[in-house]
């Protein structure tokens, strides 16, 4: 091939190959070095193998690989072309200077590459150390905030709930002849005691460094749903069949909280409505809480406060357990809450036993 009157020989093609091999300097720098050695030997190209050698020193962990590449580059640069000229080499000052020049240049490229690699490693270590320090600082800030929140909950909420419990106890004593008042006061006193127990447990969880559930705290599960319905103060039809096999603790707790939040919302937003709680097992644990439309609201009664986060929390809890959650108006004008939680077994895996969860229960409101 002739370009501008110049003929392209073997040296030109080897130089082009060495230049093209630089495309592999990141993935396979050794190949780029080997592809550049013939062109370096012929004296047509020098920068391509030197750049490839630099990439070998930067990207390879073992120093032996870079040293071998440096030796190959130095030899290819030192040997005369054609190879028959090796016999004419004499050990004189010029030959020694040429050998030192070739070895020094190749070694310098390796030293430069290894220094860059060492700097990159130090930078990565500094970045990782900074990320670790930031994580430690974040955990420390979160622990401090949890402790502050725990103190506020204990000082504010626990104090007021304790006052409610004391007032209920005093009401029981002051009205010994009024059965309805004593029953209501006893229910308030028991609920306040349960709330204090759960609050103390929550405060203990907040004060732990990792926020994990550590300690012997009461576990709410399927067996506690009848008591929850009985103490709800609502007319509730409960359908709670026997559990065919053990249910994971997290699923039981999520089911209990779903029923608890649904009944709380009924007391807040549909006072006087009748509720139905249905639990059944069919490809998972199914929870359904439905309430009828409430009667005409008594405007003289103050509205209970609501943050609007209860249903959002139930949905997040269900999704964390790979379950499903739905809440919305029913066809009869009421409201329905449904949740499905996976239990890891089919309903037919175990025999149905008639235990304390078997049957249908009905809870009437406390007078």
pLDDT digits (tens, 9 = 90+) for 248-262: 888 888 899 899 889
State the Cα–Cα distance between residues 339 and 278, nearest whole angstrom. 11
State the Cα–Cα distance between residues 340 and 359, nearest whole angstrom. 21
Whether residue 1 is predicted with pLDDT greater than 60 in this model: the reply is: no
End-to-end CA distance of the chain: 107
CATH of the domain at 344: 3.30.565.10
Residue 187 lies inside a defined structural domain of this protein: no
- pLDDT value of position 259: 92
Q: Are residues 231 and 362 in the same domain?
A: yes
Q: Are residues 227 and 365 in the same domain?
A: yes
Task: Give the end of a domain, one of 78, 96, 127.
Answer: 127
In terms of Cα–Cα distance, which of 210, 335, 201 is closest to 275?
Answer: 335
Strand partners, 360: 239
State the Cα–Cα distance between residues 27 and 48, nearest whole angstrom. 16
Residue 338 lies inside a defined structural domain of this protein: yes
- Asked if 347 and 244 touch (Cβ cutoff 8 Å), the reply is yes
Share of the chain above pLDDT 90, in %: 15
Residue 117 lies inside a defined structural domain of this protein: yes
Report the predicted TM-score, pTM, of the whole model to 2 decimal places.
0.46
Sheet of strand 360-363: strand arrangement: 324-329, 335-341, 285-291, 275-281, 236-239, 360-363
Q: How many domains does the chain have?
A: 2
Q: Are residues 227 and 115 in the same domain?
A: no
Q: Are residues 227 and 364 in the same domain?
A: yes
Domain residues for the domain of 61 are 2-127
Task: Give the end of a domain, one of 63, 95, 127.
Answer: 127
Whether residue 356 is predicted with pLDDT greater than 70 in this model: the reply is: no
For 90-110, give the DSSP string: --SHHHHHHHHHHHHHHHHHH
Of 309 and 98, the structure prediction assigns the larger pLDDT to 98
Residue 347 lies inside a defined structural domain of this protein: yes
Task: Give the end of a domain, one of 127, 153, 171.
Answer: 127
- pLDDT value of position 297: 62
Question: What's the average model confidence in pLDDT over 141-167?
Answer: 74
Residue 148 lies inside a defined structural domain of this protein: no
Q: Are residues 103 and 232 in the same domain?
A: no
H or E element, residue 237: strand 236-239
Of 13 and 141, the structure prediction assigns the larger pLDDT to 141
- pLDDT per residue as tens digits for the range 23-73: 887 888 888 887 877 777 776 677 788 888 888 888 888 888 888 888 888
3-state class (DSSP) for residue 253:
helix
């Amino acid at each position: 091939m002739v370009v501008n009157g110049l003929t392209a020989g073997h040296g030109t093609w080897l130089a082009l190959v060495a230049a093209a091999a630089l495309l592999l300097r990141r993935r396979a720098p050794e190949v780029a070095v080997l592809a550049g050695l013939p062109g370096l030997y012929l004296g047509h190209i020098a920068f391509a193998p030197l750049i490839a050698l630099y990439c070998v020193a930067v990207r390879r962990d073992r120093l032996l690989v870079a040293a071998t590449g440096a030796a190959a580059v130095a030899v290819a640069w030192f040997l005369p072309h054609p190879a028959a000229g090796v016999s004419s080499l004499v050990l004189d000052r010029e030959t020694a200077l040429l050998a030192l020049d070739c070895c020094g240049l190749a070694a310098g490229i390796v030293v430069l590459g290894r220094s860059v690699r060492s700097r990159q490693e130090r930078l990565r270590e500094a970045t990782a150390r900074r990320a670790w320090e930031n994580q430690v600082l974040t955990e420390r800030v979160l622990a401090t905030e949890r402790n502050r929140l725990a103190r506020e909950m204990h000082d504010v909420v626990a104090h007021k709930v304790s006052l409610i419990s004391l007032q209920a106890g005093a009401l029981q004593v002051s009205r010994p002849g009024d059965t309805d008042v004593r029953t209501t006061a006893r229910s308030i006193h028991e609920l306040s005691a349960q709330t204090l127990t759960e609050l103390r447990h929550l405060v203990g969880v907040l004060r732990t460094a990792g926020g994990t559930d550590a300690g012997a705290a009461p576990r709410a599960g399927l067996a506690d749903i009848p008591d929850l319905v009985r103490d709800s103060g609502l007319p509730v039809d409960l359908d709670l069949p026997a559990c065919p096999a053990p249910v994971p603790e997290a699923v039981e707790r999520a089911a209990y909280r779903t029923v608890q939040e649904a009944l709380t919302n009924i007391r807040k937003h549909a006072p006087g409505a009748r509720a139905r709680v249905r639990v059944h097992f069919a490809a998972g644990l199914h929870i359904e809480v439905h309430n009828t439309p409430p009667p005409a609201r008594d405007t003289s009664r103050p509205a209970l406060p609501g943050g609007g986060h209860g249903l959002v929390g139930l949905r997040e809890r269900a999704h964390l357990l790979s379950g499903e959650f739905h809440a919305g108006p029913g066809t009869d004008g009421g409201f329905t809450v449904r949740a499905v939680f996976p239990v890891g077994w089919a309903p037919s895996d175990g025999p149905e036993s008639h235990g304390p969860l078997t049957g249908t229960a009905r809870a009437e409101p406390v007078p």
